[in-house]
Amino acid sequence: MEVSNHYVTIKHDINGSPAESDFELRTTTLALAVLGGSKDVIVKNLYVSIDPYQLNRMKSDSSSRIVSNSSTRIVPGQAINAHGVGRVVASDNPEFEIDDFVVGLLGWEEYSVVKGGDTLSKISSTEFPLSLYAGIFGTSGLTAYVGFFNVCKPKKGEKVFVSAASGSVDMLKDQLGFDNAFNYKEEIDLKSTLKRYFPDGIDIYFDNVGGEMLEAAVANMNAFGRVALCGVISEYTDKGRKAAPDMLDVVYKRISINGFLLVDYLHMFGEFMSITSEHLRHKRMHALEDVSQGIESVPSAFVGLFRGLNVGKKLVEVTKI
């Protein structure tokens, strides 16, 4: 059987802010059949993850940042791999049967051919909605977990600041249990803002933003403060906005700034899943999703990340089950 497979690609390298016009939807024909002995699996995608790091793969200088299959340079015209959830529609792999739900490195496309089934895991439990496996149970959730526990190493009572926590202030406070929150767009001087919200100083900064926010956080950090540098979204679209934290503060306050990547912590997945499931079961944690519909919505969903439009984990529902 043959299907037409719509996929999203870039028209050219993107070195500044992305616009929807930088993307296009293309179509190929795909035979839903796998070669004997290949162990290949074909997946019909249900949810795909929309993440800011993809922009780094679209830049002209992205070749220097290849760390794993998910950080290779994105070639204009070609499909773009991305974390996601789908259903098996063809398999030469004994681990996966047709109609199995799977999670792994799929793509911004309707169907993904996963060579050797390598990056896939089967979703056996039906306890949680499938979309969670593309979000809180996926790379986003695991990145937050290892960044916080393995990189920041929090101690009881420490003051924690998270940038780009996402969503409205009221929601962060009332629904998600943050002690406090602010909208950076409404603030004039971030250093004073942080001083106001952290009168006792910041011990841990989970940084998704870079730029001025990182400078303001370092200025407000306590001695032995730790920064987990997860991403620097403010710098992805504008090379001119580089963070220049006061290094004299870094010395005198013995601050450590630690870049980290999920790829080094994949062994934490089991522990992470079991703890996160428990938190969700007991409603100590809430998974907030922002879902767009249809593969054609990927460009606007992606572009929206850099304008702060998403409220919660951004996903695209490619196909309804």
Q: 256 vs 293, which CB is nearer to its own copies?
A: 256
Q: How far apart are CA 227 and CA 243, in angstroms?
A: 13
For residue 297, the minimal CB distance to its own copies (Å) is 27
For residue 255, the minimal CB distance to its own copies (Å) is 5
For residue 212, the minimal CB distance to its own copies (Å) is 11
For residue 235, the minimal CB distance to its own copies (Å) is 6
Q: 128 vs 149, which CB is nearer to its own copies?
A: 149
Rg (CA), the chain: 20
Q: 85 vs 233, which CB is nearer to its own copies?
A: 233
Three-state SS string over the chain comes to CEEEEEEEEECCCCCCCCCHHHEEEEEEEEECCCCCCCCCEEEEEEEEECCCCHHHHCCCCHHHHCCCHHHCCCCCCCCCEEEEEEEEEEECCCCCCCCCEEEEEEECECEEEEHHHCCCEECCCCCCCHHHHHCCCCHHHHHHHHHHHHHHCCCCCCCEEECCCCCCHHHHHHHCCCCCCCCHHHCCCHHHHHHHHCCCCEEEEEECCCHHHHHHHHHCEEEEEEEEECCCHHHHCCHHHCCCCCHHHHHHCCCEEEECCHHHHHHHHHHHHHHHHHHHHCCCCCCCEEEEECHHHHHHHHHHHCCCCCCCEEEEECCCC
For residue 64, the minimal CB distance to its own copies (Å) is 8
For residue 114, the minimal CB distance to its own copies (Å) is 25
For residue 17, the minimal CB distance to its own copies (Å) is 15
Q: 122 vs 253, which CB is nearer to its own copies?
A: 253
The residue ranges that bind its own copies (CB under 8 A) are 56, 64-65, 67, 71, 210, 214, 223, 229-232, 235-236, 242-261, 264
Q: 62 vs 131, which CB is nearer to its own copies?
A: 62
